[in-house]
Amino acid sequence: MKRPITIRLEDDVIEVLDALGGKTKGIRHLVKEHLKKIRGEKRDKTPEEVFYESIYLPSEPHLREVYIAFVMLYLKCGDRSGFLDQYIDKLSGSTGLDQKTIVKNIRKLANSGFVTTKGFLFRPTLRLKETVNEEEFREILNDYLSFIRNVQRYKDWLEK
């Protein structure tokens, strides 16, 4: 049985609910996710989790961290190869590692095939798992790109 309720919310919260598909739909979605979490039920995976489960990642944790940060930075920059000098400060900031360690890890990633270099240009290599075909991956990648943009909008909203 459904019953109408009244709730007072801040304008910025209402904007977020509207972004989730409307106030009612947004509240239902958030309550549903919260109840799943309380009951310990399996929750839906985020686009980020689906994306990283569809590609091979380095097995060493510190290399995986640098690789994931590099992939995210590369996608935010619009799929453009760049000089390592362009990426190194942002990679250092997002991983907390110093620049020498970043360079060392990028070299290891390049030697293992996770980073492609052409001259002085670097870009991550996305190697698909056998369970994912190319069409599925395009859809996963598009979802992940829109997720990255929405996460940035959400961060901007939190900083207000």
For the whole model, what pTM was predicted?
0.67
pLDDT digits over 36-64, tens only?
A: 878 877 767 888 888 999 999 999 999 99
Which pLDDT score is estimated for 44?
72
Mean pLDDT of the chain: 84
Q: Is residue 2, in this structure, part of any structural domain at all?
A: no
pLDDT digits over 58-101, tens only?
A: 999 999 999 999 998 888 877 777 888 888 888 888 888 999 99
pLDDT digits over 8-28, tens only?
A: 888 888 887 777 778 888 888
Q: Is residue 52, in this structure, part of any structural domain at all?
A: yes
Taking CA 57 as the corner, what is the angle to CA 55 and CA 59, rounded to the nearest 5 degrees?
150
Domain ranges, residue 20: 9-44
Q: CB–CB of 106/84 below 8 Å?
A: yes
Q: CB–CB of 70/87 below 8 Å?
A: yes
Count of structural domains within the chain: 2
Q: Is residue 138, in this structure, part of any structural domain at all?
A: yes
Q: Is residue 97, in this structure, part of any structural domain at all?
A: yes
Q: Is residue 3, in this structure, part of any structural domain at all?
A: no
Q: Is residue 37, in this structure, part of any structural domain at all?
A: yes
